[in-house]
Amino acid sequence: MEHLPGGVLADLFVLLLAAKIGDEIFKRIGQPPLVGEILAGVIVGPGLLGWYDLNEGTVLFAEIGVVFLLFRVGLQTRLADLLRVGPQAGAVGALGIVLPFVGGIGLGAVFGLPTEVAVFVAAAMVATSVGITSEVLIGVNALGTRSGRVILGAAVIDDVLAMIILAVAMGIAAGGVDLGRIGLLLLVAIAFIVIVVAGGTGVLRRRPSLLTEPVFAQTPFLPGVIIMLGLAALASAIGLAALIGAFLAGMIVGESSERHALEEEVAPVAAFFTPFFFGAIGAQIDLAGLLDPAALTLLLAVTAVAVATKFLGSFAGALSMGARRAVLVGWGMVPRGEVGIVVAGLGLQIGVIGGSIYSVVVAMAIATTLIVPPLVPGLVRWAESPSTGRGRDLDREPAEAR
């Protein structure tokens, strides 16, 4: 076996330790631990102290981290519950994409950015981070609330739409948009989701003990994880985020009769991997690149537009649930995270946007992620508590949401 540089192990050690110290401090001061983990990643990361590198090891652990996070979320999400909130989630996802995109284009005009740059910045502003949003909802035990499900469903839907917008942006950058190719992308993505979910849950509903039928599997854990890796790789291969495949895998495997044993075994694995995801998000930031006043101005403008447009679009889409819940949903959709950073990284890679715009977009993604969690607990109580008169809709499942 090739000997790995001890450096990768040391990087993983530093990143995990830093994230957990951030977690510890933020828990002690009563703030969202997720924010502490991201800030710890900023501090020890390449942009500041440089105590670890973003290399193939840490990036892989970060990606597997969000894959396991979404797998766990999928386990706690029943297809029927998600379908029940389908119309609202669709409206929230669509309106929550359109407004930020238009806002991003407008911002580009104000700042005099070339069209292809403006389109890329706008594309990086559209998608809500499913990973961040899920962790925030888990943290306040709200994954099973009606608003929680709408946010989760909308975040998944807007990832699919963001993929389409990214394809358009890449087309514009390459000099022309191929509508046929984009239509095909959309078709493949929708077909993947429908076939996987309908087929998978169907098979497991008919045979709920399927996952423990192999001799090697005393529990459904390893068969479930194999399905998770397979669907994550497949989603990635057709251009979707790997975490979408992992979420679908969780929903399917969650139909298993041994679902609770599975959740108990997935919990430590997810606890091990997810800090790498949050820590590595913080490590993306380039603080030196933001010291320039022009960059700082652009950052403030991009962040303000990103927050306002996503909030208003999602709020409008969720209004049929009542104003309070619409506020919670709108706010919960604000965090960008991995998706915005991936889009910006792609723009940097193909040379459409420069290092300075990249830093701005990454900082925007992190800023939207940091401001959301502190307000969520209060909003959840305000919007979802029985005193709002909607107690019967509060179909929370306390035994599962942990």
Nearer to a second copy, 13 or 179 (CB): 13
Q: Provide the CA 326 distance to its chain's centre, in angstroms.
A: 20
Both tokens assigned to 306: 């990103």
Name the helix (H) or strand (E) containing 188. helix 179-206
Instruction: Output the smallest distance, CB 160 to a second copy, in A.
Output: 17
* Residue 55 Ramachandran class (φ > 0 left, ψ -120 to 50 alpha, else beta): beta
Based on the shown chain and the rule CB under 8 A, indicate whether residue 12 belongs to the binding site for a second copy.
Answer: yes
CB of 69 to a second copy, least distance (A): 14
Site for a second copy in 369-398 (CB under 8 A): none
Q: Does 158 bind a second copy (CB under 8 A)?
A: no
252-271 residues near a second copy, rule: CB under 8 A: 265-269, 271
For position 322 contacting a second copy by CB under 8 A, the verdict is no
Residue 59 interacts with a second copy (CB under 8 A): yes or no:
yes
Evaluate whether 92 touches 82 at the Cβ level (below 8 Å): no
What's the gap between Cα 99 and its chain centre?
19
Q: Between residues 20 and 84, which has the closer beta carbon with respect to a second copy?
A: 20
* Neighbouring residues of 56: CB distance < 8 A, sequence distance ≥ 6: none
* Residue span binding a second copy (CB under 8 A) among the ranges 147-155, 212-220, 324-332, 390-398: 212-220
Give Cβ neighbours of residue 378 (< 8 Å, ≥ 6 apart): none
Name which position in 43, 342, 371, 394 contacts a second copy (CB under 8 A). 342
Position 157 contacts a second copy (CB under 8 A): no
Q: Which of 398, 329, 358 is nearest to 138 (CA)?
A: 398
For residues 13 and 191, which CB has a smaller minimum distance to a second copy in the complex? 13
Residue 91 Cβ, how far from a second copy at the closest point, in Å? 29
Q: Which is nearer to a second copy, 136 or 329 (CB)?
A: 136
Write down the least CB distance from residue 256 to a second copy, Å: 15
Check residue 12 and report its DSSP letter.
H
Footprint on residues 282-321 left by a second copy (CB under 8 A): 284
- When binding is defined by CB under 8 A, the residue of 106, 171, 208, 345 that contacts a second copy is 345
Calpha distance 196→248 (Å, rounded): 7
Number of C-beta neighbours around residue 395 at 10 A: 11
Is residue 272 a contact residue for a second copy (CB under 8 A)? yes
Backbone angles phi, psi at 48, to 5 degrees: -125, -85
Question: Greatest CA separation found in the chain?
Answer: 64
Tell me: does residue 229 bind a second copy (CB under 8 A).
yes
Q: How far is the CB of 225 from a second copy (least distance, A)?
A: 6
Position among 43, 48, 105, 236 found at the interface with a second copy (CB under 8 A): 236
Asked whether position 237 contacts a second copy by CB under 8 A, the answer is: yes
Ranges of beta strands (E only) in 146-245 are none
Q: How far is the CB of 74 from a second copy (least distance, A)?
A: 16
DSSP 4: P
**Residue environment code for 4-42, b if the CB has 16+ CB neighbours within 10 A, otherwise e:** eeeebeebeebbbbbbbebbeebeeeeebbbbbbbbbbb
Q: Which one of 74-82, 92-100, 191-199, 277-285 is the stretch in contact with a second copy (CB under 8 A)?
A: 277-285
Burial class (CB in 10 A: 0-12, 13-18, 19+), 114: exposed
- Residues of this chain that bind a second copy (CB under 8 A): 1-4, 6, 8-10, 12-13, 16-17, 20, 23-24, 27-28, 33, 54, 56-57, 59-60, 62-63, 67, 214-217, 221-223, 225-226, 229-230, 232-233, 236-237, 242, 265-269, 271-272, 280-281, 284, 338, 341-342, 345-346
